[in-house]
C-alpha cells in the first residue's frame, strides 16, 4: 500500500480571522490559511490549517498566496518554530476537526510572547471512520448511507493521512527539530503512532520519514486499544461497549490486530534503535486529566512506563490537563501552557549544550 502523491497549496490564500477562547475577553485577530490539501484529489478532511499572528510587522497580508510556513522575525533557529497538532474525536466525530485548535491559537497568538519561539500553528485533518450512532449526523455505509469517502476510513487510513500531511509540510519548510508535535485523545494516539513506528508498521511502502519533531506531546490520549475494552477499570467500565463499537469501526472487528496499532505496546528495543538513529524526538510529554470522564488514567500510565524503558528518552509527566476529556482543546490554555512547559525544557537543554 503506497502513499498518495502530495497535494499543493496552489490557490490557497491567507485570510484575516478572529479566534476565540472562553478565557480571553475579546476575539484574537490572526491570519489563517485553511483547508490546504495534502494529497492529490483530497477530500474535505485531507487538509491542514495554518495559523499565524496578525502582528504590525507581519509579512502576511490578506489575499496573499500561501506558499510556506511563516517565520516570525523573533523566532530562534535553536528552538521549535512551529506547533503541529492532531485533533481527537475518537477517529469519527465529523464536528471535531482541525479548527478545534483555535482556542489554543487564541492563547498562543494573543500577544507577542518573549518566552515563545512559535511562529505559527498547524492543525491536521484526516479521514474519519463511520459513526452510525452520531446524534445529528450519523453515517453508516453498511446500512444504506451514501458513500462519504471523508468518513469511511479504517486503520491504517487515519495514520496514512497524517503521514501524507507531513510530506507536504516538509515541502512547506518543516525540518528536523523545527516543531513540536501534539495530539489530543485519538490525535494523541496518532501523534505517537507517527513518532514511534516506521511506515512499514502500517503496511506502507518505505518512504521519507516525517521530519523529526523536537518533542512529542499526548494529552488525554488513547494508547492501548485492547485495554479500552477489556481493562478499563471500575471507574470507566461502563464505557466498554462504546469503545468496542467505535474501535471496531476505526480498527476493524479483529481485535487480534489492535495491539499492533497501540502506541503503549511498542517494542522498546526497536524504539531505542530509532532514537539512536536520530528518527525520534528525545523529549516526550504525557498528560492526563484525573477528572477525565472518558479515558482512564491507566492509558497514560501504561504508555509512560513503556517509554521509560527507552534509554536516552526524556519522559515528562505533564500536570496541566484538568477537568473533563474535551477541556484541553475547548479551553485552549491547557494545551498552550503545556507547549510553553516543553519549550522551557528544550531551552534548558540548549543552554546546557552551550
Alpha-carbon distances, residue 292 vs 23, 95, 160, 288, 323 (angstroms) = 20, 20, 28, 8, 6
Domain positions in the chain = 15-353
The pLDDT value recorded for residue 55 is 83
What are 323-340's pLDDT values in tens digits?
999 999 999 999 999 999
Active site residue 185: yes
Band (75; pLDDT cuts 50, 70, 90): low
For the beta sheet containing 28-37, the strands, ordered from the edge strand earlier in sequence to the opposite edge, are 15-19, 28-37, 47-53, 120-124, 82-86, 179-184, 215-219, 283-287, 314-317
As a dihedral over the C-alpha atoms of residue 239, residue 241, residue 244, residue 248, rounded to 10 degrees, the angle is -130
- Can you tell me the distance from the alpha carbon of 172 to that of 311, in angstroms, rounded to the nearest whole number? 33
What are 144-194's pLDDT values in tens digits?
999 999 999 999 999 999 999 999 999 999 999 999 999 999 999 999 999
| Predicted confidence (pLDDT) at residue 316 exceeds the cutoff of 50 | yes
Active-site position among 158, 289, 325, 341: 325
The pLDDT value recorded for residue 91 is 99
Q: Is the C-alpha dihedral spanning 150, 151, 153, 159 positive or negative?
A: positive
Peptide bond before 329: cis, by omega within 30 degrees of 0?
no
What are 76-85's pLDDT values in tens digits?
568 999 999 9
CB 179 within 8 A of CB 214: yes
Least confident span in 3-17, 247-261, 325-339: 3-17
The pLDDT value recorded for residue 272 is 98
Give 18's DSSP letter. Answer: E
Class of domain 15-353 (CATH, top level)? alpha beta
How big is the chain by its Cα radius of gyration, in Å? 19
Active-site position among 93, 227, 287, 292: 292
Active site residue 292: yes
Active site residue 68: no
Average pLDDT, the chain: 94
The pLDDT value recorded for residue 115 is 64
Active-site position among 123, 185, 262, 289: 185
The pLDDT value recorded for residue 66 is 97
The pLDDT value recorded for residue 8 is 76
The pLDDT value recorded for residue 351 is 57
What are 280-296's pLDDT values in tens digits?
999 999 999 999 999 99
End-to-end CA, the chain: 44
Band (2; pLDDT cuts 50, 70, 90): very low
pTM of the shown model:
0.96
Amino acid at each position: 500500500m503506497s502513499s498518495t502523491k502530495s497535494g499543493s497549496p496552489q490557490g490557497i490564500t491567507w485570510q484575516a480571522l478572529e479566534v476565540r477562547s472562553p478565557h480571553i475577553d475579546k476575539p484574537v485577530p490572526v491570519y489563517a490559511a485553511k483547508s490546504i490539501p495534502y494529497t492529490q484529489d483530497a477530500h474535505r478532511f485531507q487538509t491542514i490549517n495554518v495559523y499565524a499572528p496578525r502582528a504590525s510587522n507581519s509579512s502576511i497580508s490578506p489575499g496573499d498566496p500561501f506558499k510556506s510556513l511563516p517565520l516570525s522575525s523573533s523566532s530562534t533557529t535553536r528552538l521549535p518554530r512551529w506547533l503541529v497538532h492532531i485533533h481527537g474525536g475518537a477517529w469519527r466525530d465529523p464536528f471535531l476537526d482541525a479548527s478545534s485548535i483555535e482556542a489554543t491559537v487564541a492563547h498562543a497568538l494573543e500577544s507577542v510572547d518573549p518566552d515563545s519561539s512559535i511562529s505559527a500553528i498547524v492543525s491536521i485533518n484526516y479521514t474519519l471512520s463511520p459513526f452510525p450512532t452520531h446524534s445529528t449526523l450519523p453515517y453508516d455505509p453498511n446500512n444504506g448511507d451514501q458513500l462519504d469517502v471523508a468518513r469511511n476510513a479504517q486503520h491504517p487510513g487515519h495514520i496514512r493521512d497524517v503521514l501524507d500531511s507531513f510530506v507536504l509540510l516538509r515541502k512547506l519548510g518543516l525540518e528536523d527539530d523545527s516543531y513540536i508535535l501534539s495530539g489530543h485523545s485519538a490525535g494523541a494516539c496518532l501523534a505517537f503512532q507517527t513518532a514511534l513506528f516506521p511506515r512499514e508498521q502500517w503496511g506502507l511502502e518505505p518512504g521519507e520519514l516525517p521530519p523529526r519533531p523536537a518533542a512529542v506531546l499526548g494529552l488525554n490520549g488513547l494508547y492501548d486499544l485492547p485495554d479500552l475494552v477489556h481493562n478499563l477499570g471500575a471507574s470507566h467500565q461502563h464505557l466498554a461497549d462504546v469503545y468496542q463499537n467505535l474501535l471496531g469501526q476505526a480498527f476493524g472487528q479483529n481485535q487480534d490486530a489492535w495491539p499492533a496499532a497501540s502506541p503503549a505496546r511498542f517494542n522498546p528495543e526497536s524504539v531505542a534503535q530509532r532514537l539512536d538513529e536520530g528518527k525520534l524526538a528525545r523529549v516526550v510529554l504525557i498528560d492526563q486529566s484525573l477528572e477525565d470522564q472518558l479515558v482512564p488514567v491507566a492509558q497514560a500510565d501504561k504508555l509512560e512506563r513503556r517509554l521509560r524503558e527507552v534509554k536516552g528518552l526524556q519522559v515528562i509527566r505533564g500536570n496541566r490537563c484538568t477537568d473533563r476529556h474535551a477541556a484541553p482543546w475547548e479551553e485552549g490554555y491547557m494545551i498552550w501552557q503545556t507547549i510553553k512547559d516543553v519549550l522551557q525544557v528544550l531551552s534548558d537543554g540548549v543552554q546546557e549544550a552551550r
